[in-house]
């Protein structure tokens, strides 16, 4: 499949999407968003994949939506672009498998929004996060107002979105926006290591954890706990749980069949 502005690779049950539009620091235009949406759709259909990593080529992760393209838009086109981006990022968030953003450089505006639609973020010490839309007289449009507030809390999100300050990887770590900070040369190695750990665990167990953890953001505790019990019980119907527990008792590594 030919994609615009990104590359997709799959190796050892781990998929990698690399955003690559170096001339614009990987900025997201309509064409790239469409390709990204398609890539995520296709990867979602590949049931062998256990984790997805997303990164950027060159010195940026993604420097935002393409400002040159945005500058030509009227309200209708801006609305359509915003919805298309939100739909692509929702699809990403709804994948069965965990998604890791390996943030190598600037993750600004729409780039930060894409990183936030991933399940976790590993950042190199050179990464910079920020929501500079207001400096352009704009605001986040790929659900950043919604995800940032959920990730770092209302006041931290308000601070970032209204001052447009960029923060370092270390600061993002303190805010809980990032889970691990590593040296630039270790970024992909550590990201693949984390993806490999995920891939070595029970496939249905990991899928259920993601499903329930996602639901926690919009479900009352009582109802979420009930859903958890149902999902937990559902795992007992699968050979995977038998194998996992049997392997523990036999002091060996599980041999997953799924």
Environment class of 230 (CB within 10 Å of its CB; exposed 0-12, middle 13-18, buried 19+) = exposed
Binding part of the chain for ligand CO8, among 38-46, 92-100, 136-144, 151-159 by CB under 6 A, reads 136-144
Shortest gap between Cβ of 2 and ligand CO8 (angstroms)?
Answer: 22
Closest CA to 22 of 67, 70, 54, 58: 58
Query: Where in 21-60 is the site for ligand CO8 (CB under 6 A)?
Result: 24-25, 27
Q: How many residues bind ligand CO8 (CB under 6 A)?
A: 24
- Options 2, 23, 93, 133, the catalytic residue: 133
What is the Cα 50 distance to its own chain's centre?
Answer: 14
Q: Is 113 annotated as catalytic?
A: yes
Q: For tokens 């539009």, what's the residue?
A: 21
Of 15 and 169, CB closest to ligand CO8: 169
Shortest gap between Cβ of 27 and ligand CO8 (angstroms)?
Answer: 4
Of 14 and 92, CB closest to ligand CO8: 92
Binding part of the chain for ligand CO8, among 36-44, 138-146, 171-179, 185-193 by CB under 6 A, reads 138-146
Please report whether residue 78 would count as binding ligand CO8 according to CB under 6 A: yes
- Options 2, 9, 113, 250, the catalytic residue: 113
Q: How many Å apart are CA 252 and CA 129, to the nearest integer?
A: 42
- Of the residues 16, 39, 57, 65, which one makes contact with ligand CO8 according to CB under 6 A: 65
Query: Where in 93-122 is the site for ligand CO8 (CB under 6 A)?
Result: 106, 108-110
218 near 236, Cβ under 8 Å? no
Closest CA to 10 of 58, 45, 34, 37: 45
- Of the residues 5, 56, 64, 254, which one makes contact with ligand CO8 according to CB under 6 A: 64
Q: Is 171 annotated as catalytic?
A: no
- Of the residues 5, 98, 140, 202, which one makes contact with ligand CO8 according to CB under 6 A: 140
Of 37 and 208, CB closest to ligand CO8: 37
17 forms beta bridges with 8, 54
60 near 66, Cβ under 8 Å? no
Shortest gap between Cβ of 24 and ligand CO8 (angstroms)?
Answer: 4
- Of the residues 14, 38, 63, 122, which one makes contact with ligand CO8 according to CB under 6 A: 63
Roughly how many angstroms between the first and final C-alpha of the chain, as a whole number? 27
Contacts of 140 (CB under 8 A, 6+ apart): 109, 110, 113, 131, 133, 148, 161
Beta strands in 86-233 (DSSP E): 99-103, 106-108, 120-124, 128-130, 167-168, 180-182
Of 7 and 68, CB closest to ligand CO8: 68
Q: How many Å apart are CA 104 and CA 169, to the nearest integer?
A: 10
Q: How far is CA 16 from CA 39, 63, 127, 198, in A?
A: 10, 19, 19, 15
Please identify every residue annotated as catalytic.
113, 133
The residues that touch ligand CO8, with contacts defined as CB under 6 A, are 24-25, 27, 63-68, 78, 81-82, 85, 106, 108-110, 132-133, 136, 138, 140-142
């Amino acid at each position: 499949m030919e994609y615009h502005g990104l590359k997709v690779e799959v190796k050892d049950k781990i998929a990698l999407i690399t955003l690559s539009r170096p001339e614009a620091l990987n900025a997201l235009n309509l064409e790239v968003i469409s390709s990204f949406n398609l890539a995520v759709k296709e990867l979602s259909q590949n049931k062998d994949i256990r984790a997805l990593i997303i990164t950027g080529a060159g010195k940026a992760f993604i420097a935002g939506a393409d400002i040159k393209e945005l500058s030509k838009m009227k309200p209708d086109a801006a609305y359509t672009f915003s919805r298309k981006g939100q739909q692509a990022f929702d699809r990403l968030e709804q994948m069965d498998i965990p998604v890791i953003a390996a943030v190598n450089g600037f993750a600004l505006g729409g780039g930060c929004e894409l990183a936030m639609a991933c399940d976790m973020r590993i950042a190199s010490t050179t990464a910079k996060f920020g929501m500079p839309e207001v400096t352009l007289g704009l605001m986040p449009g790929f659900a950043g107002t919604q995800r940032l507030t959920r990730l770092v809390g209302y006041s931290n999100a308000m601070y970032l979105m209204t001052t447009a300050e960029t923060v370092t990887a270390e600061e993002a770590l303190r805010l809980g926006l990032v889970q691990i900070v590593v040296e630039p040369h270790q970024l992909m190695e550590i990201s693949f290591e984390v993806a490999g750990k995920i891939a070595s665990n029970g496939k249905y167990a990991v899928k259920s954890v993601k499903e329930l953890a996602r639901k926690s953001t919009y479900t009352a505790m009582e109802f979420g706990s009930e859903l958890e019990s149902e999902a937990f019980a559902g795992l007992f119907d699968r050979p995977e749980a038998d194998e996992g527990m049997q392997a523990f008792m036999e002091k060996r590594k599980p041999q997953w069949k799924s």
